[in-house]
Structure 1
Amino acid sequence: MDKKEFRVLIKYCFLKGNNAVETKYWLDAEFLDTAPGKSTIKDWYAMFRGGEMSTEDGERSERPREVVTDENILKNPQNDFE
């Protein structure tokens, strides 16, 4: 089962009124070795309590489109690196 599916199950337990410990116990019983850890469940519960009900990953900053190397700097004479 992937992370997204576990998030949906955690949200289900949250909306059902279970606390994080009950959710962890249930997921461990049902999914043995693949269940998320206690801290992951607590983090998602905190987000749900805060009003964030999406189970999608949050936005992340992306890596730069080009890596800054000496070669890239020399290609662009408008750089003011001195």
Structure 2
Amino acid sequence: MDKKEFRVLIKYCFLKGKNTVEVKTWLDPEFPDTAPGKSTIKDWYAKFRRGELSTEHSERSGRLKDVVTDKKN
């Protein structure tokens, strides 16, 4: 399962009123090798509590992945 799908499951649990310990306890046996860690779940819960209910990553400022420069001879 990819990270986006886990965020959706975490959001579902948040909206159902489960706490982070309940989410971790539920995800670990279901996805033993790929379940997100406690800190990841807590981070997403903090975002949801602030009203950021999107499960997408927000854009970040900083250096671009691809930089185009004019090549001078």
Shorter chain as denominator, the TM-score bin is 0.7 to 0.9
Aligned to 1:38: 38
Shift in Å, 1:21:
0.7
Aligned to 2:26: 26
Picking from 61, 65, 68, the partner of 2:67 is 65
Normalising to structure 1: TM-score of the pair?
0.77
For 2:20 and 2:57, how far apart are their aligned partners in 1? Answer: 20
Larger Rg belongs to? 1
Q: Which runs of 5+ in 1 are unaligned?
A: 77-82
The structure, 1 or 2, with the larger RCO (C-alpha pairs under 8 Å, 6+ apart) is 2
What is the number of equivalent residue pairs in this alignment?
A: 71
1:17 aligns with 2:17: yes
Q: Which runs of 5+ in 2 are unaligned?
A: none
Shift in Å, 1:29:
1.6
Normalising to structure 2: TM-score of the pair?
0.85
For 2:30 and 2:65, how far apart are their aligned partners in 1? Answer: 38
| Structure with more helix by fraction | 1
- List structure 1 runs of 4+ shifted beyond 4 angstroms: none
